[in-house]
Structures are given as structure tokens and as C-alpha cells.
Amino acid sequence: HALARYAALCQASQIVPIVEPEVLMDGGHDIDTCYQVTEWVLKETFQQLYYQKVALEGMVLKPNMVIAGKKAAKRAGVDEVAEKTVKVLKDCVPASVPGIAFLSGGQSDLDATAHLDAMNRMGAPWPLTFSYSRALQNTALKTWGGSAANYAAAQKAFAHRARMNGLAAQGKWKP
């Protein structure tokens, strides 16, 4: 309800809302549990958006990917994450939503890039892109380490990760 109300208030002020329903990857849940919870969260979010009369074509969805929890015994492969994420989106997100910008949700830099690339290679009814923070900045921050001597190397690491994610958003990334 709060996300939908926020989106309605944004649109009333002629601001494009970024609607961010997120299922966290904290815990030991498997990918199927994440799928079920993500499905419920997305369906409930869109029901609330409908009640608030949010124009879906005037918003950006920023969801999680369908992925096992950080403490899960079994990690899902790149293709399984991509397949389940695209399936849940197709089942829950109206085609009038103009685009989806994924959270990295605590994934590693490479995992977030690989998952986005695999989804774009599969194809989806919407443009799929990224709105990562940790998965975009992590390597750059570690490289920098607070030292001015590492500034150029950190910038290079950040530019590289941004370029790799840009390629993944086009389904053109290669490890």
C-alpha cells in the first residue's frame, strides 16, 4: 500500500515513480521459495497500484531477481535464475509497465551481471536493465580502499563494471 501511495503521489506531482518491491536474499530459502514470495509480492503490489490509480505506463519497476537466499545450501545457476525471474515477471507484471530496472540485492558483481545478461538473451516483453549499487560499486570501493593512490584504478574498475552491465542490459556481455 505504501509503495502504491508513494507512486500515486509522485505521479500527481509529475514525477516518475520507481516502485521497488524487494524480496531479500537474506536467509536460507531456496530459489522456489523466492519465486513464490516474489510472485505474491508482485501481484499484491500491482493490485495496490491499481487501487491507487497509478498509471503503469508512467512508472519504473525495480524488483529483485528470483534467487536463493545467501545461506541456502543449493545455489541456483545463472540460467535457472534468469528463467524463473523472467517467468515470474511475465506472470505478474502488466505489459504496460515500460521497463524493469533490477536491484542487485547483495549479489556479487559478476553474478548480477551474468543474471541480467541471461535474462536479456532470453527476451522479455520489457526492456530489462540495472539499478545496482553494491554490484556496481563494490569492486571500485575495494580497489580504492580510501587511498588517493588508488583513485585512478578505482575509477577504471567502476567504469569497467558499468560497461559490463551496459552490455548485459543488451544481452551482449561475455565473461
Q: Which residues are catalytic?
A: 62
Per-residue CA distances from 115 to 80, 81, 134, 162 (Å): 9, 7, 15, 15
Alpha-carbon span 133 to 108, nearest angstrom: 11
The three-class DSSP label of residue 43 is helix
Q: Are strands 128-130 and 60-61 parallel, antiparallel or unpaired?
A: unpaired
For helices 78-92 and 109-122, the axis angle rounded to 10 degrees is: 60
Per-residue CA distances from 56 to 2, 22, 44, 50, 97 (Å): 16, 18, 14, 9, 5
In the chain, where does DSSP find H-type helix?
A: 2-12, 31-51, 78-92, 109-122, 134-144, 151-168
